[in-house]
Amino acid sequence: MSFVHTLRGWIFYLLLAVSIIGLTIGLLVTWPFMTYERRYEAICRPWAKLALWLLKATCGVDVKAEGVENMPDTPVVVLAKHQSAWDPFWLGAYLKHPPCFIYKKSLHWLPFLGWALASMNMMAIDRSKGRQAFEQFMRRGPEFEKRGWWVTLFPEGTRVPPGEHVRWKTGGARFACAMGLPILPVAHNAGRYWPKNSVAKIPGTIQVVVGPLIETKGRDPHDVTAEVEAWIEAHVL
């Protein structure tokens, strides 16, 4: 990665930071007057698309998506590959329904971005509480599905660079099985162009593949997780 890549990365982050301030102000101002769903469609989704455009304009990182026709109009649980901080931007911009991300509560302490997250009342959990955090997820998850949001998780639990592997967590599959909801798998190779813990971005085209629905009714969550993992890993280009 060259000095130019790093410089372009810093320019991207500067512009992204300015946009986050605008995002936060917009969400806080409209909080008393608009539903979460309307605020998401009016503010969050356009902002996520803006972030992807800024990434392309400053760093030359584009995206090509396949299989978007596999997204249904009905409730699903989204399980996605997690290679970099890029993932939530694309999911937030292009999932057919608003995604309800499961994220660590400590993110609320981040200036502006944390406040924006908190204002959307998604599912912030305290990872240190283990079982209690999972029970919170299982209790609140159905609320979002009933409202038309798609519960969205990264089964790896953390950003995993290309070529590395961690044990996949079964929480998403357990929730989907308990609710009888199909899983929408999403594979991509964003880590090649937006490396973990790196300011520099590598010009190129991120490949996203949205898979066919994986049914969960009457199935064991471990078997479902294994099937989702196998499909996603086979489609990471």
pLDDT digits (tens, 9 = 90+) for 11-57: 999 999 999 999 999 999 998 889 999 999 999 999 999 999 999 99
In this predicted structure, what is the pLDDT of residue 209?
Answer: 97
Asked whether the beta carbons of 217 and 122 are under 8 A apart, the reply is no
Q: Mind spelling out the 3-state secondary structure of 146-157? A: HCCCEEEECCCC
Segments making up each domain of the chain, as ranges: 3-234
* pLDDT at residue 51 in the model: 98
Strands 183-188 and 77-80: parallel
Q: What is the pLDDT of residue 157?
A: 86
Q: What is the pLDDT of residue 222?
A: 96
In the predicted model, what is the mean pLDDT of residues 84-89? 94
Cut 0.85: pTM above it: yes
* Residue 197, pLDDT score: 87
CB 91 within 8 A of CB 80: yes
Q: Are 194 and 61 in contact (CB under 8 A)?
A: yes
| 62-79 per-position pLDDT tens digit | 999 999 999 999 999 999
In this predicted model, what pLDDT tens digit does every residue of 199-228 receive, in sequence order? 999 999 999 999 999 999 999 999 999 999
| Per-residue pLDDT reduced to its tens digit, 161-207 | 998 999 999 999 999 999 999 999 999 999 999 998 899 999 999 99
- What is the bridge-based pairing of β-strands 99-104 and 123-125? parallel
pLDDT digit string (tens) for 93-152?
A: 999 999 999 888 888 888 998 999 888 888 888 776 767 877 888 888 888 888 899 999
What is the DSSP code string of the chain? Answer: --HHHHHHHHHHHHHHHHHHHHHHHHHHHHTTTS-HHHHIIIIIHHHHHHHHHHHHHHH-EEEEEE-GGG--SS--EEEE--SSTTHHHHHHHHSSS-EEEEEEGGGGGSTTHHHHHHHTT-EEE-GGGTHHHHHHHHHHHHHHHHTT-EEEE-TTSS---TT---PPPSHHHHHHHHHT--EEEEEE-GGGTS-TT-S----EEEEEEEPPPB--TT--HHHHHHHHHHHHHHT--
C-alpha span between 192 and 83 (Å, rounded): 8
| pLDDT score of 1 more than 70 | no
- 3-234: CATH topology is Glycerol-3-phosphate (1)-acyltransferase (3.40.1130)
Nearest alpha carbon to residue 46 among 107, 85, 94? 94
pLDDT for residue 53: 98
